[in-house]
Amino acid sequence: MFTGLVESVGKLVGRSGEHIRVRPARRFESPQFGESVAVNGCCLTLERDFPDGTLEFFTLAETLDRTNLGRLPIGSPVNLERAMLAGGRFGGHIVSGHIDGTGTIRDVRRDGNAVWYTIQAPEPILQLIVEKGSIAIDGISLTVARVDHVSFSVSIIPHTLQETALAFKRAGDIVNLENDCIGKYVAKLIGAEEEDKAGKGMTREFLQRYGF
């Protein structure tokens, strides 16, 4: 589990088959084999660390297909966050590191000391976004400022731009999106309740579909 508070910006330095290599700007302290690290919001397993601080992660084809990790050019900056410690502060929101899909930055606009990003996203993702709710963009915990039927917008403070890779993003770039997990569970339970009210009843198929 993660919080969406980026610890370091790394650089994608290699991609080979099922593995990617990332070099953090700030070296990880005592990296552990098998630990979970969010790379651009995607939960990956650390398999190897090198003397220069470079980290190697295992990636599935599903991961590369569903996220921007398979499309980023070598040298691209990526956000990094190690898994949350049980006794740590919970400064962002609950982030699982399981990407729901990607969106496309349509507009970047400066507004005083803030910068607005408008992101076009698929309908299933937009349906779970609410104004003033939480969204993880490339692993960054952010508050939704506006949402409509084709896109949503966030307003970014200077600290976030300084400490994350979002500052390098431009219109047309692809970003990873993770909806608020509480909203996803609520939506699923409401959908199950509506199915039951429609007269389908509590069947074996119904229970299997919802994990029982």
Tens-digit pLDDT profile for residues 109-156: 999 999 999 999 999 999 999 999 999 999 999 999 999 999 999 999
**What pLDDT, on a 0 to 100 scale, did the predictor assign at position 49?**
94
The share of the chain scoring above pLDDT 90, in percent, equals 74
What is the SS3 assignment for the chain? CECCCCCEEEEEEEEECCEEEEEECCCCCCCCCCCEEEECCEEEEEEEECCCCCEEEECCHHHHHHCCCCCCCCCCEEEEEECCCCCCCCCCCCECCCCCEEEEEEEEEEECCEEEEEEECCHHHHCCCCCCCEEEECCEEEEEEEECCCEEEEEECHHHHHHCHHHHCCCCCEEEEEECHHHHHHHHHHHHHHHHHHHHCCCHHHHHHCCC
What SS3 class is residue 76?
Answer: coil
**What pLDDT, on a 0 to 100 scale, did the predictor assign at position 202?**
55
Question: What is the gyration radius of the CA atoms in the chain, in angstroms?
Answer: 18
- The mean pLDDT of the chain is 91
Q: ∠ CA(191), CA(136), CA(14), 5° rounding?
A: 120
| pLDDT over 70 at 14, yes or no | yes
Tens-digit pLDDT profile for residues 82-99: 998 877 777 889 899 999
Provide the pLDDT confidence category of residue 192 given band limits of 50, 70 and 90: low
**What pLDDT, on a 0 to 100 scale, did the predictor assign at position 193?**
57
Provide the pLDDT confidence category of residue 198 given band limits of 50, 70 and 90: low
Give the separation between CA 125 and CA 20, rounded to whole angstroms. Answer: 27
Provide the pLDDT confidence category of residue 195 given band limits of 50, 70 and 90: low
Tens-digit pLDDT profile for residues 155-187: 999 999 999 999 999 999 999 999 999 888 888
| pLDDT over 80 at 10, yes or no | yes
